[in-house]
Structures are given as C-alpha cells and as structure tokens.
Structure 1
Amino acid sequence: MKFKNAVASFKLGLGVKTEGNLVISGTKGYAYVPAPWWKTDYYELRYEDQNQNKKFFYKWDGDGLRYEIQEFISCIVNHRFSTARLRRKESIAMAEIMESFTNRINFKEI
C-alpha cells in the first residue's frame, strides 16, 4: 500500500529470527507496535512532543492476529466465507474493514 507522506515498515522472516516490530510513519508521528506485532497486547502513537504520545491496550485470545489473518487468507484463496475457526460474520467484518481502509473511509492520517 502507498500513501502520501507515509511509510510503513516491518520485519518478517520465515525460518529466521527477526526483531519483528511494526512501525507506520506519517508526517505528524508514527504508530509503533512492539514485537511480535501479530500477537500484540498494545500499540503506541508517538509524536515529536512526547507528552502527546498515547498507548492503546488490547487483549487478544490465543495467538492473537496471526491465526485470524491466516484463516481469513485461506477463506479468500478457497472462495469461502467461513470455516470452523472463522465465522461468516467475522470474515465479512474483516473484509469490510479492509475495504474501508483501502478506500480511506473513517480513516485518519497521523
């Protein structure tokens, strides 16, 4: 994905060890997600003025986003809306979120 005045970077390795954090940078600051980003408990919005920094905490069941993302991709590849692990309602909600993000609906640049 490409956005004006924004850069995203992350490290991912198959069969190798990497630091694994995620950084999404923009003109006003950046979002930082500590490793492992697919199993995160929180993320931070960081600004030049550190007094404006914010932390957001979330509790994911199991192994977090990793298996959810994998199952969602499996649904797309196999032309399915649901599996035993991912219900149709969740699959559609994830697709709607991705579409909104791509079309910049309810999107706020940081």
Structure 2
Amino acid sequence: MIDRRQIKNWLCEDCTFVFQTFGKKQNGRPRKYFCPSCGENVSVFKYEADRFNQGPKRIKQPWRDEEIQVIEQVMNGELLKYQAAIKLGRSIKSVRRKIERMNKERVKAE
C-alpha cells in the first residue's frame, strides 16, 4: 500500500509541467528534483493547488465564468488539463471532472 504522505507534487515553471515523486529524504539532506520534461532543476518548486492550502476541511468553490472559459480552452485542445489546473489554482482531478460534466451536458443538449 502506498503511503500518500510520501507522494509529492512538483511544478517546473520553465515548461509548465507537473510531476510526482515518491520517497523520503536520504541521509537528512534535501534532494534535488529534476523536471522529466526539460531536465532542469532550477525552476522546480513544490506544487499544491490553492484549494488544499485552506486547512483540513475542503471548501467547495463554485466555478466562475472565467474558469469555465479556461476549461473550454482545454476541451478545444488549446491547453492541457494540468496547465489549466495550475492556471486556475485547482487540482487536476477537479478540472477533469468538470470537463466530464460539461461533456455530459453537451450530449444531453443534442
């Protein structure tokens, strides 16, 4: 069983790439993490959606019109899901769910 406390999310600001690592620090020294996309470690920072920084209780955030426009860019292929999540300050999973819901609404409307 994977201990979720050991999974860390990282963001490379050069190429806007989110990746995960698993494991503890070795010998008490901080590890250097390299982006698997571009290979740089200078602009790699720990990533966590703003929604999860508000405390132990999750707060439901309604989707605003500006956010829905970004989701439509993802659906049109202009952005990737993780890029939209970074831009909106939401988790990748919430962006994926919103896209699924919007697709279902479009199918029902037809």
Q: Structure 2-normalised TM-score?
A: 0.30
Larger RCO: 1 or 2 (CA < 8 Å, sep 6+) = 2
Q: Which has the larger helix fraction?
A: 2
Q: Which has the larger strand fraction?
A: 1
> Rg: which structure is higher?
2
